[in-house]
């Protein structure tokens, strides 16, 4: 597949490094010496293996983190200044930027994300570490916050301290970025961490260990264990040496982690599933709204918890909207995720530019020389799950507008056409259940009240969006929808400065921004008696 300027449309595949577990600053083979295959979802071929940790390995990692947290009275990390920790975070950010191309290719090969999306993710990883370096420095200025109390014989202040050893369990759809969302604020706060990435996409998370070693991060501050959920994730969540668990993933797994945490009464923060609604009103620019609907449902191959996969369109524009939606969906380029146009200039990290570039790349006329916009699903099991959901949608009586099958030109790999269902009923599983694939369900509404009621009729509450030129309406809808993230005239923008998290069965707690840092800090009250007078709570004995 040669490009007209002589360059290959498919980026050369980088070699997958062979790594062990990263514990106490060194690479350690798992106790049972077992490994799990890494399957490239675009080719269905094994491209390497990750170590399969078990409870014994987890115990080693927790001990290393605990030792690092308490070493030298905590002065080496937990009680070091924020400025000291910030130097390491910035060094990590610089190393991610230096290795951006390689890390993006590894990410794309591991989970099927189109290469340019993976590169944008690496920009955001570096940006996240830079951002929390700034917040770490800010902790020094606010270490002691005075509290006014009603008695002048006392002085009181609050200090914030790292919560301790934290378990960070992350998903496969944004492997390195979701790790950064947790690792960066945890380390900025002074915590020591054990990162457990998804077994379906662990390559770049292990490379984060290599980067930590390269920048000289003190041993034990960051430990990385890979493996299956039952044999590595569960022992980590249940470990008595862990002071907090932060998890991003499915609601079912989040429930199990909550139950495990209750045994030790340890705090948890959970960012779980979603089934977010996008409401389009009749005054919207239809072409722009279709573009956002596509992006909201099919970005990251549809494998994103905040995907606006429930589309609500006002009846008066529904027919035209569905016609254009079908045409756009059928024009999306489905290809090897490493396919790119080598003529493209350097990519940028600002979310607005990302969205514009994504939309402009949707239609490319030359089918043999086209940039991938939709890659494969992450694994065979996820592929079969999504196909099963599509079949359930058909059986329920929803109408398949387009997609729902393997593209004819891709006989191998876990590829699936972007899928759109219409004629939706409230009980249809494609409307109620999180599918985590490129599947969009479309319903209609007549009034604003009906749109709000349909949007809120979900067990989830992660995100939602509205598209309308009426600013007052947008404000009303934003206040009425039960969710943690709301977008107006867009879908999916994410900034590390803004809070991220949901309500209802989408979890609780917030990541990103200063709220993400607060996740890993404990508040301590310190009160001092400053009077020279005795307290005189009880008369002193006559004989002392």
**35-83: pLDDT as tens digits:** 999 999 999 999 999 999 999 999 999 999 999 999 999 999 999 999 9
* Structure confidence at residue 538 (pLDDT): 86
Same domain assignment for residues 223 and 76? yes
Residue written as tokens 């690092």? Answer: 68
Beta pairing class for 439-445 and 419-422:
parallel
In the 8-state DSSP scheme, what is residue 230?
I
Q: Looking at residue 471, which CATH number applies to its domain?
A: 3.40.309.10
**Residue 360: inside a domain:** no
Please check the confidence at residue 454 and state whether its pLDDT lies above 90. Answer: yes
Same domain assignment for residues 394 and 333? yes
* Structure confidence at residue 363 (pLDDT): 39
**287-336: pLDDT as tens digits:** 999 999 999 999 999 999 999 999 999 999 999 999 999 999 999 999 99
Q: Any idea which residues carry the catalytic annotation?
A: 271
Distance CA 111, CA 38 (A): 10
Same domain assignment for residues 112 and 165? yes
Please check the confidence at residue 367 and state whether its pLDDT lies above 90. Answer: no
Which residues contact residue 249 at a Cβ distance below 8 angstroms, ignoring those fewer than 6 apart?
169, 170, 171, 198, 272
**396-441: pLDDT as tens digits:** 999 999 999 999 999 999 999 999 999 999 999 999 999 999 999 9
CA dihedral 294, 299, 304, 305 (to 10 degrees): -40
**Residue 205: inside a domain:** yes
Same domain assignment for residues 78 and 181? yes
Task: Please name which of 207, 236, 235 lies closest in space to residue 48, comparing C-alpha atoms.
Answer: 207
Residue written as tokens 């191959």? Answer: 301
Which residues contact residue 52 at a Cβ distance below 8 angstroms, ignoring those fewer than 6 apart?
30, 32, 34, 35, 36, 199, 226, 227, 228, 231, 232
* Residue % of the chain over a pLDDT of 70: 92
Same domain assignment for residues 264 and 291? no
* Structure confidence at residue 368 (pLDDT): 40
Same domain assignment for residues 206 and 301? no
**99-153: pLDDT as tens digits:** 999 999 999 999 999 999 999 999 999 999 999 999 999 999 988 899 999 999 9
How many folded domains does the chain comprise?
Answer: 2
Domain that holds residue 449: 277-340+373-488
**Residue 182: inside a domain:** yes
**Residue 253: inside a domain:** yes
**Residue 8: inside a domain:** no
Same domain assignment for residues 190 and 228? yes
Q: Looking at residue 73, which CATH number applies to its domain?
A: 3.40.605.10
Same domain assignment for residues 171 and 286? no
Q: Which pair of structure tokens corresponds to residue 269? A: 């923060």
Range in 98-102, 369-373, 521-525 the model is least confident about? 369-373
Sign of torsion, CA 42 44 49 53? positive
Domain end position, chosen among 457, 488, 519: 488
Same domain assignment for residues 436 and 514? no
How does residue 337 score in pLDDT terms, banded at 50, 70 and 90?
very high
**Residue 329: inside a domain:** yes
Same domain assignment for residues 476 and 513? no
Same domain assignment for residues 396 and 253? no
**Residue 542: inside a domain:** no
Same domain assignment for residues 140 and 266? yes
């Amino acid at each position: 597949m040669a490009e007209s300027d002589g360059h290959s449309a498919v980026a050369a595949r980088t070699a997958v490094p062979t790594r062990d577990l990263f514990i106490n600053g060194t690479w350690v083979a798992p106790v049972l010496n077992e490994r799990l295959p890494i399957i490239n979802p675009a080719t269905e071929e094994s491209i390497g293996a990750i170590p399969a940790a078990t409870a014994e390995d987890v115990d080693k990692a927790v001990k290393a983190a605990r030792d690092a947290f308490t070493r030298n009275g905590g002065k080496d990390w937990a009680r070091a200044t924020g400025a000291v920790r910030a130097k390491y975070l910035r060094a990590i950010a610089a190393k991610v930027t230096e290795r951006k191309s390689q890390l993006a290719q590894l990410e794309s090969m591991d989970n099927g994300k189109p290469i340019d999306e993976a590169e944008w993710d690496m920009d955001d990883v570096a940006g996240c570490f830079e951002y929390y370096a700034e917040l770490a420095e800010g902790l020094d200025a606010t270490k002691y916050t005075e509290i006014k109390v009603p008695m002048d014989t006392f002085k009181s202040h609050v200090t914030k301290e790292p919560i301790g050893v934290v378990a960070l369990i992350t998903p496969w759809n944004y492997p390195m970025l979701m790790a950064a969302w947790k690792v960066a604020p945890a380390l900025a706060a002074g915590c020591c961490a054990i990162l457990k990435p998804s077994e379906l996409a662990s390559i770049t998370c292990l490379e984060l260990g290599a980067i930590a070693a390269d920048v000289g991060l003190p041993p034990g501050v960051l430990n990385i264990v890979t493996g299956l959920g039952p044999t590595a994730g569960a022992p980590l969540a249940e470990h008595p040496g862990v002071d907090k668990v932060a998890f991003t993933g499915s609601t079912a797994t989040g429930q199990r982690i909550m139950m495990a945490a209750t045994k030790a009464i340890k705090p948890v923060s959970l960012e779980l599933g979603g089934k977010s609604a996008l409401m389009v009103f009749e005054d919207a620019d239809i072409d722009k709204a279709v573009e956002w609907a596509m992006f909201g449902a099919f970005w990251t191959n549809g494998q994103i918890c905040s995907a606006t996969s429930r589309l609500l369109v006002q009846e008066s524009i529904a027919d035209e909207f569905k016609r254009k939606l079908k045409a756009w969906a059928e024009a999306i380029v489905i290809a090897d995720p490493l396919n790119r146009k080598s003529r493209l200039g350097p990519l940028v990290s600002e979310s607005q530019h990302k969205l514009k570039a994504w939309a402009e790349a949707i239609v490319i006329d030359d089918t043999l020389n086209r940039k991938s916009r939709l890659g494969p699903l992450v694994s065979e099991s996820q592929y079969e799950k999504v196909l099963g959901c599509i079949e359930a949608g058909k059986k329920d009586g929803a109408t398949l507008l387009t997609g729902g099958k393997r593209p004819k030109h891709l006989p191998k790999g876990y590829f699936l056409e972007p899928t759109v269902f219409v004629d939706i009923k409230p009980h249809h599983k494609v409307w109620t259940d999180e599918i985590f694939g490129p599947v969009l369900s479309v319903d209609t509404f007549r009034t604003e009240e009906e749109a709000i009621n349909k949007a809120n009729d979900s067990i989830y509450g992660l995100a939602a969006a509205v598209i309308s030129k009426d600013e007052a309406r947008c404000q009303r809808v934003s206040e009425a929808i039960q969710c943690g993230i709301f977008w107006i005239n867009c879908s999916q923008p994410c900034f590390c400065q803004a809070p991220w998290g949901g309500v209802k069965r989408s979890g609780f707690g917030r990541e990103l921004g200063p709220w993400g840092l607060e996740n890993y800090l404990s508040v301590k009250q310190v009160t001092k008696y400053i009077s020279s007078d005795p307290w005189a709570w009880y008369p002193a004995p006559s004989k002392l």
